[in-house]
């Protein structure tokens, strides 16, 4: 389902230049390509050297906002390709006066242009679109096409934490991650009945839980 463009979207996004550090949305795409891409200096952006976690496909930003409040000593980058959606996260972060969150509006495949190698301690993939049809498998955020990108910016001891309501996507992700060389831990096929006591829920997660659906969760690491 396509969301109708929010009213005054350009103006609403325009007030968040402090929080939205990269925006590839067409109405911002004015710079020549060569000038558009630049690596983010997270130390400069956040004013400290704290660990940086990234959520890819942050949607309306509920998870990243709650995480940033719970973990003030962590810096968070929230990535979302749809500006119509990212605006909700930007508004939330500003409303809560959070200084440890920044937003990037781009497709995950372009993160290689913005995120420095070996700079991210944890990646969250929360309820990423499962793309059930095989012909769209390369759109899944655990497809090798994306793992190659994460591999560069994830620290050697960094982790990928994934949650989904789709068993097929979960199985696909476990295979894709292990084929790539990741090891898996804390794997659960029913998060609500697991011993994981540090879960922070997302907007989609609450929706699926209310529907009585099981939540699948894993942590992937290299060493």
Ligand X SMILES: C[S@@+](CC[C@H](N)C(=O)[O-])C[C@H]1O[C@@H](n2cnc3c(N)ncnc32)[C@H](O)[C@@H]1O
Q: Which is nearer to ligand X, 36 or 81 (CB)?
A: 81
115: region left, alpha or beta (phi > 0 left; psi from -120 to 50 alpha): beta
3-state helix, strand, coil split of the chain in percent (to 5) is 40, 20, 40
Judged by CB under 6 A, which of 127, 150, 161, 221 binds ligand X?
127
Binding of ligand X by 108 (CB under 6 A):
yes
Angle at 82 between CA 77 and CA 88, to 5 degrees: 70
Q: Which is nearer to ligand X, 55 or 183 (CB)?
A: 55
Binding of ligand X by 79 (CB under 6 A):
yes
Count of CB atoms situated within 10 Å of the CB of 31: 9
Q: Which is nearer to ligand X, 43 or 69 (CB)?
A: 69
Judged by CB under 6 A, which of 13, 20, 58, 98 binds ligand X?
58
Binding of ligand X by 219 (CB under 6 A):
no
Q: Least Å distance between CB 49 and ligand X?
A: 26
Nearest Cα to 63, choosing from 162, 171, 193?
A: 162
* DSSP-derived secondary structure letter, 2: P
Binding of ligand X by 129 (CB under 6 A):
yes
Binding of ligand X by 120 (CB under 6 A):
no
Judged by CB under 6 A, which of 69, 82, 192, 196 binds ligand X?
82
Q: Least Å distance between CB 22 and ligand X?
A: 12
Please state the separation of Cα 48 from the chain's center in Å.
Answer: 21
The site for ligand X, by CB under 6 A, has a size of 20
Binding mask 191-210 for ligand X (x = CB under 6 A): -----------xxxx-----
Binding of ligand X by 57 (CB under 6 A):
yes
Q: Least Å distance between CB 12 and ligand X?
A: 17
User: Token match 């795409």: residue?
Assistant: 29
CA distance 122 to 64: 13
CA distance 6 to 4: 6
Q: Is 130 in contact with 140 (CB distance < 8 Å)?
A: yes
Q: Least Å distance between CB 201 and ligand X?
A: 9
**C-alpha to C-alpha distances, 41 to 48, 49, 96, 115, 120, nearest whole angstrom:** 11, 10, 24, 8, 12
**Which stretches of the chain bind ligand X, using CB under 6 A?**
56-59, 63, 79-82, 85, 107-108, 126-129, 202-205
């Amino acid at each position: 389902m396509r969301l109708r463009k929010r009213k005054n979207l350009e103006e609403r996004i325009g007030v968040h230049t402090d929080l939205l550090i990269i925006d590839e949305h067409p109405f911002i795409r004015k710079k020549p390509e060569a000038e558009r891409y630049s690596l983010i200096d997270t130390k400069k952006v956040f004013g400290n050297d704290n660990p940086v976690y990234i959520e890819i496909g942050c949607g309306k930003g509920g998870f990243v906002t709650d995480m940033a409040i719970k973990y003030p000593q962590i810096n968070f980058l929230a990535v979302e390709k749809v500006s119509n959606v990212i605006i909700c996260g930007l508004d939330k972060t500003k409303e809560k006066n959070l200084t440890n969150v920044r937003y990037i509006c781009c497709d995950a495949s372009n993160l290689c242009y913005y995120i420095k190698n070996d700079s991210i301690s944890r990646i969250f993939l929360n309820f990423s679109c499962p793309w059930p049809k095989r012909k769209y498998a390369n759109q899944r955020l655990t497809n090798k096409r994306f793992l190659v990108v994460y591999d560069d910016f994830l620290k050697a001891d960094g982790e990928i934490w994934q949650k989904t309501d789709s068993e097929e996507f979960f199985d696909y992700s476990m295979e894709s991650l292990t084929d790539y060389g990741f090891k898996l831990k804390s794997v659960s096929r029913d998060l609500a009945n697991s011993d994981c006591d540090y879960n922070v829920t997302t907007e989609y997660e609450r929706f699926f839980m209310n529907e009585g659906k099981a939540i699948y969760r894993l942590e992937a690491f290299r060493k």
